[in-house]
Homo-oligomer: A and B are copies of this chain.
Amino acid sequence: MTAQKTNKEGRIGAQNRARILAAAEQEFALHGYNGTRLQNVADRAQLPKTNILYYFKSKEGLYLAVLEQILTLWNSAFDVATVDDDPALVLANYVAEKMEISRTKPEASKIYALEIINGAPNLSKFYKEQHVDWMDGRVALLQAWIDQGKLSVKDPYYLLFNIWACSQHYADFQAQIAALRGKGMDKQDFSDATKALIHMILSGCGLSVPDKFK
């Protein structure tokens, strides 16, 4: 071997990639995959369109990169909770985390929603299997709490679905929410909505709300 391969990506490259990814996230969230124009992504990133194709092989490649970045957001303390933890605290924290993502990263939530609504054609088999494994583990944990009499729900699946549904709704449907309320949700509104949601979820499980979330 002769000269060692350089890092294959200079500082400029890393910076531009990030710029493009951020711009693409906005555009995909706003217009969906098919509605997004590479030219618009380029304009938003203030780079010529050709550069996007230089860094990402194709529109699909760009989308997959955005999607991959989004999936890392889903990580949570709930992932590693055990049967010895307090269900009320764990669930309340999980809801609060989810709501915080909806507040700070609504674009990510929207892109994910669009992907699922369209039948998840671009989520890798690997991710799907991993997600099923995660779900199995969390359902088992919830079931253990149920068996211990710490949690009162019939089916753990529906509990998780409802948590996701409500928390993501505040990101995905923000246009409707703002229209119906007459104003957008500010930080305080999110705090109130989070408390309301935690109250509802925990009440439904026969748990009382920890002071921290009252």
Contacts and interface: CB of A to CB of B under 8 A. Distances in A.
Interface of A: 29-35, 110, 113-114, 116-120, 128, 131-132, 135, 153-155, 157-159, 161-162, 164-166, 168-170, 172-173, 175-177, 179-182, 192-193, 195-197, 199-201, 203-204
How many copies are assembled? 2
Contacts of A172: 113, 116-117
Contact of A173 (B30, B165, B175): B165
A86 to B, nearest CB: 19
Contacts of A132: 179-180, 182
Contacts of A161: 166, 169-170, 173, 177, 193
A95 B170 CA distance: 19
16 contacts: A29-B117, A30-B119, A113-B113, A120-B175, A120-B179, A128-B179, A131-B180, A132-B180, A153-B196, A155-B193, A161-B166, A162-B200, A165-B165, A199-B204, A200-B203, A200-B204
